[in-house]
Chain A
């Protein structure tokens, strides 16, 4: 992690009317790094992600892409840079099949018409390299389970060869097996050298796949921790904003009792 971060936010602020949603937020994402973005509801996670994705332009601060400052004012700007976002509501077309959804908006063409064969071939390749198992690439999204839709949505974000993938609560509402599949997929994204920003409320998921945890609290940074060397209590304390609370008191008590 010594190289320059692919994406860096420097002192980013965002205000909606009377609400200061983000204040001087710093965030760095390197290639091949999974950064978990955690925080309570209303901490500003979604807003932060939307500023990166170009949905909400920032008011103050700077966004750096591979070391140089850039402006992200529209979703297209983010896409051109190489930021792909998978929102919680997935945004897939139920009536279209998997291939069509994967290539929606950037269809492959041959002599001016859709090249279904090449798209199907590439879709199979992509799904195979990600070890995604779905019944068929030619069935409508409506026929897929929630977990399958999630992995299709993530695979879809990879079609444009992004460098950063933002996943907004990818494991919410998924079962045990499906969660594991999505987490596997996140690890495969890291192996491909992508930077991943993972929003999650689930500490188990965060600890399972993230390299770094960035905590937001009330729109401000409240610590960035390497996952390996940090206890869950520390992270939770940062999220709730209390170094003195039931959790830390209990931790201190048990530590003392152990002596």
Chain B
């Protein structure tokens, strides 16, 4: 009789597993082997950016021992926000596999619109901000409409926008060419002397604690739900490892920024928007639709997704972020000037999104790439600024970095194809 109980397990085979499949081992070692396998397969994730950042920091601090200072970090953290906001909008567009060349021009126009409204027409500064953002939304929606409904390639639509909106900006600014902004409203909030909790030392740490705690809470509550639903879940060791890495980054950044003046409010706004956009892209059906359209237009259409609606809305988002970025850029100089539509801003925003790991080919990427990419670009800019390099060299280097990022993207896509992941 005791023999019967021994044989029962054999009569109930589990789901058959293909022996060729790579099974993920449990625990931390499984996490590491999976990571190595992903990198080999071309799924580089944030790895090239982090390596790039370390290389950049090493090179510049070897050249100039003042580079590795809290003031440099403050400079990077503050000046990355404006173009970073452009890059966030571009990530949405890039996820569709399209491009928006107008974001630089729209940002310049937005600054001009805000300046004319708030300074010349004395509109309430917050109302002026709202109207400016809506201008950006409308411009983006117009680009999206011409692209999605009329069928003009997005490249051409936004190239036309790039020229036209630059023209409108110059017309708005008129003869003076520059309008100085009043230090109030959002312009004050985004300016270089506005800090979270007034620059109090606790502000930075509160943000860091919030970030780590919410990652841990989110991770463990999802683990519990998945465990109770009987689907695979991330092991506790992985969650703790992730939280530890974030904690090192967050508390390190908080410490360094506190050595200077604190966390710029502009950066807080940028991070908050990144979290919201990340949530929208990964946790809502709207975000899922963006990824689907970027992956396969025909499949999306057959799944009942309105492809034109997604396209128009994504360009509207891009236009809105361009307008907000324009306000942030204007706040750094406290003026809306003719340099607002600088094409260099557009190039750096595209470079930031791509360097951060968002693919130019659509369907792959995260909004965090705007943050990571901007860290790289502003680290380079800060270094070049310290070395006293002139604009010609800066342009060459920015161009080189953009090309390098696209090369990495193309190469990793090729590796992904050859290992069956693209």
| In the assembled complex, B285 has its CB within 8 A of some CB on chain A | yes
Assess A133 versus B18: contact at CB under 8 Å? Given A75-B302, A92-B296, A95-B295. Answer: yes
- Which A residues lie within 8 Å of B295 (CB)? 93-96
Q: How many residues of B contact A (CB 8 A)?
A: 35
Q: Is the CB of A117 within 8 A of B292?
A: no
Out of B285, B299, B303, which one reaches A109, CB within 8 Å?
B285
Out of A94, A109, A117, which one reaches B363, CB within 8 Å?
A94
Q: Is the CB of B288 within 8 A of A104?
A: yes
Q: Is the CB of A91 within 8 A of B18?
A: no
Among A100, A106, A117, A135, the most chain B Cβ lie within 10 Å of the Cβ of: A117
Once bound together, how far apart are the Cα atoms of A51 and B246, in whole Å?
55
| In the assembled complex, B16 has its CB within 8 A of some CB on chain A | yes
Assess A95 versus B18: contact at CB under 8 Å? Given A79-B304, A143-B421. Answer: no
- Which B residues lie within 8 Å of A70 (CB)? none
Q: Is the CB of B303 within 8 A of A117?
A: no
| In the assembled complex, A128 has its CB within 8 A of some CB on chain B | yes
Tell me how far the C-beta of A168 lies from the nearest C-beta in chain B, rounded to whole angstroms.
Answer: 12
Q: Is the CB of A95 within 8 A of B305?
A: no
Among A93, A106, A120, A124, the most chain B Cβ lie within 10 Å of the Cβ of: A93
Identity of the chain B residue whose Cβ is nearest the Cβ of A148 in the assembled complex? B18
Assess A95 versus B294: contact at CB under 8 Å? Given A79-B304, A104-B299. Answer: yes
Q: Is the CB of A117 within 8 A of B225?
A: yes
Which of these binds chain A: B56-64, B76-84, B226-234? B226-234
Q: Is the CB of A105 within 8 A of B305?
A: yes
Once bound together, how far apart are the Cα atoms of A39 and B225, in whole Å?
51
**Which A residues are closer than 8 A to B by beta carbons?**
75-76, 79, 87, 89-96, 100-101, 104-107, 109, 112-114, 117-118, 120-121, 124, 128, 133, 135, 138, 140, 142-143
Out of A87, A107, A135, which one reaches B285, CB within 8 Å?
A107
- Which A residues lie within 8 Å of B416 (CB)? 142
Q: Is the CB of A124 within 8 A of B231?
A: yes
Q: Is the CB of B364 within 8 A of A114?
A: no
Q: Is the CB of B15 within 8 A of A142?
A: no
Identity of the chain A residue whose Cβ is nearest the Cβ of B359 in the assembled complex? A95
- Which A residues lie within 8 Å of B422 (CB)? 94-95, 142
| In the assembled complex, B10 has its CB within 8 A of some CB on chain A | no
**Which residues in window 351-396 of B have CB below 8 A to A?**
362-364
